[in-house]
Amino acid sequence: MNTREALTTPAPPAVTDLHASLTDPALTAMTFLNEVAERHPGALSLAAGAPYEGFYDVEDVHRALRVFTDHLRDERGYDAARVRRTLLQYGRTKGIIHDLIARHLAVDEGIDVDPEAVVVTTGCQEALVLTLRALRRDERDVLLAVDPVYVGVTGAARLLDMPVRPVAGGARGIDLADLRRAAREARTAGLRPRACYLVPDFANPSGLRLPLADRRALLEVAEEEGLLLLEDNPYGLFPLGEERLPTLKALDTRQQVVYLGSLAKTVFPGVRIGFAVADQPVPDSAGPLILADLLARAKSMFTVNTSPVAQAVAGGHLLEHDCSLLRATERVRAVYRENLRRLLRRLAVHFPAPSPVTWNSPQGGFFVVVGVPFDVTGDLLERSARDHRVLWTPLDHFHAGPPAPRALRLSASSLPPRRIDEAVDRFAGFVRAHTPAGP
Amino acid sequence: MNTREALTTPAPPAVTDLHASLTDPALTAMTFLNEVAERHPGALSLAAGAPYEGFYDVEDVHRALRVFTDHLRDERGYDAARVRRTLLQYGRTKGIIHDLIARHLAVDEGIDVDPEAVVVTTGCQEALVLTLRALRRDERDVLLAVDPVYVGVTGAARLLDMPVRPVAGGARGIDLADLRRAAREARTAGLRPRACYLVPDFANPSGLRLPLADRRALLEVAEEEGLLLLEDNPYGLFPLGEERLPTLKALDTRQQVVYLGSLAKTVFPGVRIGFAVADQPVPDSAGPLILADLLARAKSMFTVNTSPVAQAVAGGHLLEHDCSLLRATERVRAVYRENLRRLLRRLAVHFPAPSPVTWNSPQGGFFVVVGVPFDVTGDLLERSARDHRVLWTPLDHFHAGPPAPRALRLSASSLPPRRIDEAVDRFAGFVRAHTPAGP
């Protein structure tokens, strides 16, 4: 019977019988980048967006765990059995360090939020996935995202079959006219633009920071267009200078912003602790709810709860610094500043203006976008790693919109400061070797 | 403009503008159960399927972490920087204790599997979600599941918009004729049945264990019907007697079984470590792949990687017992046996045959299904908690198929042995108070 054959997929299945996200080019591109790095362990990495690990110490894990255990006993008044249960058993879906995260947001970001609006997640990626899951009701729902966009966002959206429509970033971080256009075009196509994703502070990969006036204007546009804003803020504590700008969430008086937080760069990635702040009231007949409660319901079916052991380590780390991650990151922030300054200075030494090689000058964060006078390919990255012993990231991996083959991303986060000049020297050698001779 | 209005959802959104899974009755039912338990802290719980915590000790976490750190240094030969990086940085998507889990499977289950086929996940729930994500290519793909089915399975499937079609469990764990019927009916309806989910050992909630002959026959039927089997095995180490049966995966010579593992009951829930074993070769033009590689791609977009700190604690625990969880659980297995025996014995004391109250006699695990001569409702649970100070779980929460209003689940896992008789006494009091007078 023909129908039966068509509906019987073989077990084991072919790749074409599986969900399309699993063979998405963005995913295979990321795998390729990692493989190049593994094949060339001697190459210096201006590719990795991983945090600087020079101050890491396994003993910090033990100490943080003890600090949190003491906190449960001394400040929350838990007896020994309850301390054990809190760390080792199943637990609250929204997490056990929500109060400490809320305190951090108040202390470091001027964000005042009820701890009940915080959902502690298995890294920021899960916070994003839960938010998209809630917002994608059916096939008409789409996400807007400032382009170029972090590959984790397009990946999460594809896993949930939610299309991503690009919004131009322009020179200031988001082009508000283009945001309006994107929202309206989506609606004209019969779609529902639900939210716009962006990193207002030192975006990945663009490095851009939204000026204060643009933040306020963005909140206005979002309200007019009926959009939530998904504000992802992994780099906000790392400006080059002293000035930090208020987050969108700090300016948000009408609950238009879902704030996505990560402790990967401020505690360490191995805790895999992130969070969502979702204080939006959600009308429901059964009683007062906020969006965080609904994200928690989705979480209970994705990962049940976030490891309380990992939360305890992050919580202890927060407690050790009075819940100020600005204070906790004093040493590493100095490294990031030094690294970004050196990288920009050294690029200027190698490519004095006028040059066919150009770059932007971010005011903080990890990333610099470099324009080069040749097409950037995977093959070129392999040759850069092999012949020049330096790694970087093609910008094309980040594009939801039109391709950008002549640009790449440099990251200044993971190398020690003393290796930055050398890495940029190698990078300059690579660029020169592939730059066509001038006219 | 009418169209524009319809496509502009308000921000903040109404509950009806969010994904339907978030207001699924199964989810709200679970919330209700938790709330009843919180309202009545003095009630003894025959509801909680959580593991017995009498042997928990926070110092075990520290010790396990040190054991794993030593293992990285002494057995894998990592230098101090690499040890730090392994525990604290981002890491391998498929995990860092895959080899230890593979060794556990060989030692305890007779399952021989390449460690590369193991994906370490944030609890078993994530392993299930990743597997369903891979298998649901489009709206035609459906999951079969032995009914009654664990609510986490229906929840995960609903999050991914994958319908669950019930297969009768019968008296032996799965009705194979009904499995064939379900697969064929799905195909007749134009759907693709991709896999059948079951817990062959002491299922939640039925407590049933598949006889060996049925396991072999199930593998045959699955092959004929083109179905993968999703074998979830959280309770297999806890038989009442000495005899354990081979898992489906141990009998699986043709890679028909994806094995879903949990360390929640054998290490502790707070590590949130589970895993999938997916050794299915997946034909792909780009080279040899196994299903585990594709689950890892999905994982990279859900949670990036599983906390290496949590993995280290689980890994240290495995190492301390030569990767035998049978050995690691010696003390707690004695508790589970004692509890289940006492619970069955005490039910027989209260309800000697013939009685309108009936129950099954599982050969192990945590759960017993009790039939009662009245409809079980949420309201009755509240009264049981308040007036009789005992908690249990309505069986209706677990049904993918027709309702079963006159049954409930008792769990013998979380109370200390000395409280079981008392809990059953209270439960018997509740049942008697609601049993209609005989004719």
User: What b/e sequence results for A385-421 when a residue is b if at least 16 CB atoms lie within 10 Å of its CB, and e otherwise?
Assistant: beebbbbbbbbbbbbbbeebebbbbbbbbbbebeebe
Give me the pLDDT at residue B202, please.
Answer: 98
pLDDT at B397: 79
| pLDDT higher than 50, residue B278 | yes
Query: What topology is assigned to A61-327 in CATH?
Result: Aspartate Aminotransferase; domain 2 (3.40.640)
Say which of B56, B125, B186 has its CB closest to residue A302.
B125
- The whole-number average pLDDT for the span B407-418 is 96
A180-193: pLDDT as tens digits: 999 999 999 999 99
Q: Mean pLDDT, chain A, as a whole number?
A: 94
Q: Do B300 and A126 touch (CB under 8 A)?
A: no
- B74-92 tens-digit pLDDT: 999 999 999 999 999 999 9
A219-228, A242-251, B12-21, B421-430: range with lowest mean pLDDT = B12-21
Interface test with A, best of B290, B302, B306 (most A CBs within 10 A): B302
CATH number of A10-54+330-434: 3.90.1150.10
Tens of pLDDT along A45-77?
999 999 999 999 999 999 999 999 999 999 999
Does residue B7 have a pLDDT over 80? no
Query: Among residues of chain B, what percentage have pLDDT more than 70?
Result: 97
Q: What are phi and psi of A127, to 5 degrees?
A: -60, -40
> Is A11–B191 a contact, with Cβ atoms under 8 angstroms apart?
no
Q: If pLDDT is split at 50, 70 and 90, which confidence band does B30 have?
A: confident
Best of B307, B332, B366, B415 to disrupt the A interface by mutation (most A CBs within 10 Å)? Answer: B307
Q: What does the pLDDT read at residue B6? A: 54
Judge whether B379 and B36 are in contact, CB under 8 Å.
no
Residues with Cβ within 8 Å of B421's Cβ and at least 6 positions away in sequence, in order, are B342, B346
Give me the pLDDT at residue A10, please.
62
pLDDT digits (tens, 9 = 90+) for B290-348: 999 999 999 999 999 999 999 999 999 999 999 999 999 999 999 999 999 999 999 99
% helix, strand, coil for chain B, step of 5: 45, 15, 40
**Domain B2-54+330-434: assigned CATH number:** 3.90.1150.10
Helix (H, G, I), strand (E, B) or coil at B184: helix
Tokens standing for A21? 């996200």
Which one of B9, B69, B280 has the shortest CB-CB distance to A12? B280
Query: How far is the C-alpha of B176 from the C-alpha of B169, rounded, in Å?
Result: 9
Kindly state the average pLDDT of the residues A106-125: 98
pLDDT of B106 reads 98
Q: Would you state the pLDDT for residue A432?
A: 97
Q: Which of B408, B414, B406 is nearest to B427 (CA)?
A: B408
Residue A172 has pLDDT above 50, yes or no: yes
Q: Are B120 and B269 in contact (CB under 8 A)?
A: no
Strand order in the sheet with A393-394: A358-359, A367-371, A407-411, A393-394
Instruction: Tell me how far apart the alpha carbons of residues B231 and B75 are, in angstroms, rounded to a whole number.
Output: 32
Whether pLDDT at B393 is above 50: yes
Confidence of residue B9 (pLDDT cuts 50, 70, 90): low
Whether A1 shows a pLDDT value over 50: the answer reads no
Q: Which of A140, A223, A307 to mutate to test the interface with B (most CBs of B within 10 A)?
A: A307
User: What pLDDT shows up at residue A12?
Assistant: 67
Q: Decide if pLDDT at B439 tops 80.
A: no
Q: Chains A and B: how many Cβ contacts under 8 Å?
A: 314
Asked if B12 lies within 8 A of A122 by C-beta distance, the reply is: no
Using pLDDT thresholds of 50, 70 and 90, give the confidence band for residue B1: very low
Q: Higher model confidence: residue B236 or residue A35?
A: B236
pLDDT tier for residue B5 given thresholds of 50, 70 and 90: very low
- Give me the mean pLDDT over the A137-162 stretch: 95
Asked whether the bond before A354 is cis by omega within 30 degrees of 0, the reply is: yes
Domain boundaries, chain A: 10-54+330-434, 61-327
pLDDT at residue A15 in the model: 81
Q: What pLDDT is stored for residue B14 in this prediction?
A: 81
Q: How far is A108 from chain B (nearest CA, A)?
A: 24
3-state SS string for chain A? CHHHHHHCCCCCCCHHHCCHHHHCHHHHHHHHHHHHHHHCCCCEECCCCCCCCCCCCHHHHHHHHHHHHHHHHHCCCCCHHHHHHHHHCCCCCCCCCHHHHHHHHHHHHCCCCCHHHEEEEEHHHHHHHHHHHHHCCCCCEEEEEEECCCHHHHHHHHHCCCCEEEEECCCCCCCHHHHHHHHHHHHHCCCEEEEEEECCCCCCCCCCCCCHHHHHHHHHHHHHHCCEEEEECCCCCCECCCCCCCCHHHHCCCCCEEEEEECCCCCCHHHCEEEEECCCEECCCCCCEEHHHHHHHHHHHHCCCCCHHHHHHHHHHHHHCCCCHHHHCHHHHHHHHHHHHHHHHHHHHHCCCCCCCEECCCCECCEEEEECCCCCCHHHHHHHHHHCCEECEEHHHHCCCCCCCCEEEEECCCCCHHHHHHHHHHHHHHHHHHCCCCC
CA A393 to chain centroid: 16
Contact: B7, A191; criterion CB under 8 Å: yes
